[in-house]
């Protein structure tokens, strides 16, 4: 490779490194805003559970009689992935996990339904043979998370009405500080009976139980909808943070590889440059010696 070609290659690689560094910085900043949103959502979920607790302790609500366990499971899996690439096996792993959980419970994949959030995870689900009930893009804007969650809840209600879905599972990635991302699973529907039992046994933290003035059924309906919204919004937020974390790690690795390539190319360039300088010096010295010899010859 000529020195000119090597110079162009070094320049292109340096430009690529700048792009990779910018993407890494953007992912780092995005993770921070998603983490802050996740903390706020966790606090809001605590408030919702406190409202459930108050409703139960005020004796204005009793759970409906327990329904017999259905003979067959009809699952709707809500799988949250990514719209963009550079995240490794992020989408493939979560689709495989959803299929594994569904099949482990004796249900075939073709008999279940899928709602995918993220263009790339939708492609992975279709390749796996999962029947898609709905698919949505995912936005990097934290402001759109609640809108996506609300739309998905409407589609869940539709699937339960039209296809007799009796179980809704949500799959998403979650990132813990200092640890790699993990795939998490939430049972959205049916409402976990253990959670109700735990709230029933749990004492109210003060001597004054809140007075519930709203009709119990109306308040319960609102709380359930808010509970579903907050769980879905949290899953979307955690997934976005995990996606950017995966991309940031990949960009860090790419940056390292680019730096190693740049170092190697710069060494090669310096070596070629040194060789060119050496050749020029040899030519100069050889020319000087030839002139000296010519001058030293006696004239005939």
pLDDT of residue 206: 85
Q: Which residue has the higher pLDDT, 199 or 125?
A: 125
Arithmetic mean of pLDDT, 25-31:
90
Arithmetic mean of pLDDT, 204-218:
82
Arithmetic mean of pLDDT, 14-33:
91
* Torsion over CA: 150, 156, 159, 164 (sign): negative
Residue 60 has pLDDT above 80, yes or no: no
> What percent of the chain has a predicted confidence (pLDDT) above 90?
53
Task: List Cβ neighbours of 25 (8 Å cut-off, separation of 6 or more).
Answer: none
Q: Which residue has the higher pLDDT, 226 or 60?
A: 226
Fold that domain 29-199+214-250 belongs to in CATH: Pyruvate Kinase; Chain: A, domain 1 (3.40.1380)
**Range name among 32-46, 53-67, 170-184 with the lowest pLDDT average:** 53-67
pLDDT of residue 300: 54
Residue 12 has pLDDT above 60, yes or no: yes
pTM of the model: 0.84
pLDDT of residue 61: 60
Q: Kindly tell me the burial class for residue 251, based on how many C-beta atoms sit within 10 Å of its own C-beta (0-12, 13-18, 19 or more).
A: buried
Residue 82 has pLDDT above 70, yes or no: yes
pLDDT of residue 297: 62
Residue 107 has pLDDT above 60, yes or no: yes
Arithmetic mean of pLDDT, 208-213:
80
Mean pLDDT across the chain: 87
Angle at 51 between CA 50 and CA 56, to 5 degrees: 95
Measured in whole angstroms, the distance separating CA 82 from the mean position of its chain's CA atoms is 6
Q: Kindly tell me the burial class for residue 124, based on how many C-beta atoms sit within 10 Å of its own C-beta (0-12, 13-18, 19 or more).
A: buried
Q: Which residue has the higher pLDDT, 250 or 194?
A: 250
The residue among 21, 20, 76, 37 whose CA lies nearest residue 240 is 37
| Residue 216 banded pLDDT, cuts 50, 70, 90 | confident
Residue 190 has pLDDT above 90, yes or no: no
pLDDT of residue 296: 63
pLDDT tens digits, 250-267: 999 999 999 999 999 999
Residue 73 is given by DSSP the state -
Residue 187 has pLDDT above 60, yes or no: yes
Domain ranges of the chain: 29-199+214-250
Q: Roughly what angle, to the nearest 10 degrees, separates helices 90-104 and 119-128? A: 50
């Amino acid at each position: 490779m000529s020195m000119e070609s090597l110079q162009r290659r070094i320049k292109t690689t340096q430009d690529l490194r700048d792009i990779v560094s910018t993407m890494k910085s953007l992912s780092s900043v995005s993770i921070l805003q998603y983490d802050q949103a996740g903390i706020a959502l966790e606090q809001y979920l605590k408030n919702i559970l406190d409202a459930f607790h108050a409703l139960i302790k005020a004796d204005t609500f009793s759970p409906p009689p327990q329904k017999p366990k259905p003979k067959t499971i009809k699952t709707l899996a809500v799988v949250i992935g990514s719209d963009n690439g550079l995240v490794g096996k992020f989408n493939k792993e979560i689709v495989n996990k959803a299929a594994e959980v569904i099949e482990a419970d004796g249900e075939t994949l073709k008999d279940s339904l899928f709602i995918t959030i993220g263009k790339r995870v939708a492609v992975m689900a279709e390749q796996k043979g999962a029947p898609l009930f709905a698919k949505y893009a995912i936005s990097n804007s934290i402001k759109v998370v609640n809108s996506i969650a609300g739309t998905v809840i409407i589609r869940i209600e539709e699937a339960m009405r039209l296809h007799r879905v009796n179980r809704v599972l949500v799959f998403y990635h979650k990132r813990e500080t200092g640890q790699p991302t993990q795939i998490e699973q939430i049972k959205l529907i049916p409402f976990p009976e253990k959670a109700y039992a735990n709230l029933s046994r749990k004492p109210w933290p003060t001597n004054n139980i809140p007075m519930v003035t709203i009709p119990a059924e109306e308040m319960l309906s609102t709380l359930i909808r808010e509970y579903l919204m907050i769980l879905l919004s949290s899953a979307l937020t955690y997934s976005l943070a995990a996606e950017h974390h995966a991309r940031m790690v990949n960009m860090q690795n790419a940056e390292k590889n680019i730096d190693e390539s740049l170092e190697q190319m710069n060494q090669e360039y310096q070596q070629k440059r040194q060789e060119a300088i050496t050749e020029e010096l040899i030519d100069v010295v050889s020319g000087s010696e030839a002139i000296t010899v010519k001058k030293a010859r006696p004239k005939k």
